[in-house]
Amino acid sequence: MEITSIDVGRAAMAMAISEDRQDEQEIRQRLSARGISSVAVDFGGEYLLSVKKIIERAVVAAQRQRLVSANHIGEGAVAGATHAALEQITSKAAGLNVGGKIGIARYGEHICVAIYFGVGVLNLNEVVVGLAHRSLPLGEA
């Protein structure tokens, strides 16, 4: 069965919506058995002030798990996909606090970043999701 960018997007989203570290590890193992590398990182804070920190966390997590190399190609792909995913949720999150998870998955040339955040003030919460894809050369790991 061929793995496509849609499958990699699903993998990133599965990582982003994982409930806890144990669930995250089980998902990572299932994905790894299919040849998909993945990582997730938690995040919380005031959205607009935190955009840069969210992008940095995604890049560092992808590098630590060897989804991408520590160079401008790998970093740029993760940063660009994270920024594109964040753009999808900005209208709902601007000026509010967010908390949730960033999921990243990679297979071959495909890398996807999924963002799953709760947004709100006090206990008036909204749920937002963003997902973006980038392509990397096969040799760029």
Parse the chain into domains and list their residue ranges: 5-135
CATH of domain 5-135: 3.40.1510.10
pLDDT greater than 90 at residue 37: yes
DSSP 69: -
The residues near 64 (Cβ < 8 Å, ≥ 6 apart) are: 39
Model confidence at 46, pLDDT cuts 50, 70, 90, reads very high
The reported pLDDT for the residue numbered 141 is: 58
- Report yes or no: 81 and 74 within 8 Å, Cβ to Cβ: no
The H or E element that residue 80 is part of is helix 72-87
DSSP state of 3: -
Shortest CA distance to 114 belongs to which of 3, 8, 2, 4? 8
pLDDT one-digit tens code per residue, 54-110: 999 999 999 999 999 889 999 999 999 999 999 999 999 998 999 999 999 999 999
78, 113 contact by CB (below 8 A): yes
